[in-house]
Amino acid sequence: MPSDELIRDRVEVLRALVLAAGHRHELLEALWQVSDDGEARAAVQRVLGVTEEQALAVLDLQLRRFTPAQVAALRTELAELETAGQPDPPAP
């Protein structure tokens, strides 16, 4: 079973990927304006309001991940990990 830290890191990446899918038009427009990798990372951070690590994950994203089925799979994985990270409710 992955550690809590690995799960938290994956949740943060999934949040950024889902956010990128929802803002793909603005993201691609911003990326069209940049001239290097550093500017691309900064543009992703600015458009999505994400961390440097999240921005790098978005930049590594393959465009096929923007299909409705792939976005649904990302959302499902995110929901499962977020639910798994919730503490069990106290016993009555």
Query: Is the per-residue pLDDT at 80 higher than 90?
Result: yes
The CATH code for residues 4-78 is 1.10.268.10
End-to-end CA distance of the chain: 28
Nearest to 52 by CA among 64, 62, 43: 43
> What's the confidence (pLDDT) of residue 91?
54
Least confident of 63-67, 81-85, 87-91: 87-91
At residue 29, the pLDDT reads 96
Q: Are 33 and 43 in contact (CB under 8 A)?
A: yes
Every domain of the chain and the residues it spans: 4-78
DSSP secondary structure of 15-39: HHHHHHHHTHHHHHHHHHT--SHHH
Give the model confidence (pLDDT) of 8-62 as tens digits. Answer: 999 999 999 999 999 999 999 999 999 999 999 999 999 999 999 999 999 999 8
